[in-house]
Amino acid sequence: MKNKHNQQVKIKTLNRFDMSNFDVSLQQLNDLLTDESGFYSWPTKHFHEVYPRIYVGNAFVATNAMRLKRLGITHILNAAEGNSYMHVNTNAEFYAGTGIIYHGVPASDTDHFDISVFFEEGADFIEKALAYKNGKGKVYVHCREGYSRSPSLVIAYLMLRQNLDVHTALAMVRQKREIGPNDGFLRQLCQLNQRLAAEGRFWNK
């Protein structure tokens, strides 16, 4: 599956704050994603509800408008917009006539891709989706497999809008669905964690 390295990527603590509780390593996050033998699991279902009214899933369901309607999905966040084999080639026109509101992010599932530039954009869209029709919206966040890109955006949403630290957010999603964001994405979530901790966003937790 994924070639994981054992080296730890330590986040530097900032002198101004005691951030010992938020000193996160890549290895710690990977430990949350694997079983006791160190193995990653592939998703057992096409999609899972990982947080109230937030669904993470694959392209199979994303391209089935009837199934989305039966689920009551009001919004789609495609974390893999594009037309290569790594991407899912949908757009707003694809959902025309369904009433589903679409947003696309052209992320690639590689260690060196900077998905963090879409963290705020994705969080904004998810937040608006959940507020839709007085809190009745449901958002389906997907990539090709619902394994790396889409859960990364949902974890960032939980950190940015629900004030969860990266451990809690990642563990919450992993508890509901088998996921495995690549190491580059995990590092970017660690960096987001560092920034939010420095801003005091987790102090009430």
Catalytically active residues are 143
Query: Burial level of 134, CB count in 10 A (0-12/13-18/19+)?
Result: exposed
Q: Give yes or no for a contact between 65 and 48, defined as CB atoms under 8 angstroms apart.
A: no
Structure tokens at 172: 């919450």
DSSP single-letter state for residue 87: S
Q: Give yes or no for a contact between 107 and 80, defined as CB atoms under 8 angstroms apart.
A: yes
- Amino acid letter at 28? Q
d(CA 191, CA 189) in angstroms, rounded, equals 5
CA 141 to chain centre: 8
- DSSP strand pairing (47-51 vs 54-57): antiparallel
Q: Give yes or no for a contact between 68 and 57, defined as CB atoms under 8 angstroms apart.
A: no
